[in-house]
Amino acid sequence: MCLAFNTYPSNVEELLWTRTYKDVTVMLRLFLGQKQADYCQQYEIFALTVKGIFGGSDEEPSQKGNKIDYTNPVITSPAELEAFLGRLKQR
């Protein structure tokens, strides 16, 4: 929670009193989704690098599932996350 809100553990109580439950859960979900996307992207890049180093084939592996779209913007800062939440509240 401290990482999602970019704060210290001593400020968590104040944070919980100044935000709604929905704000906290949405921020945590977005933060964890961002981290998950970051780690998936790092894994994909690592797999491509290892394949290149050890001479893997250029054929696509026969895996089912969705490919990661690297063109989608990722929210990377608390300020961008706050702006995104503000746009959601206006809807």
Q: How far is CA 87 from CA 13, 37, 80, 82, in A?
A: 26, 22, 11, 9
Determine the pLDDT at residue 17: 86
> pLDDT, tens digit, for every residue of 27-47?
888 888 888 988 888 888 888
Lowest mean pLDDT among 11-15, 23-27, 65-69, 77-81: 65-69
- pLDDT, position 14: 85
- Comparison of pLDDT for 88 and 13, the residue scoring more: 13
Q: Record the pTM.
A: 0.48
Residues 86 and 32 sit within 8 Å (Cβ to Cβ): no
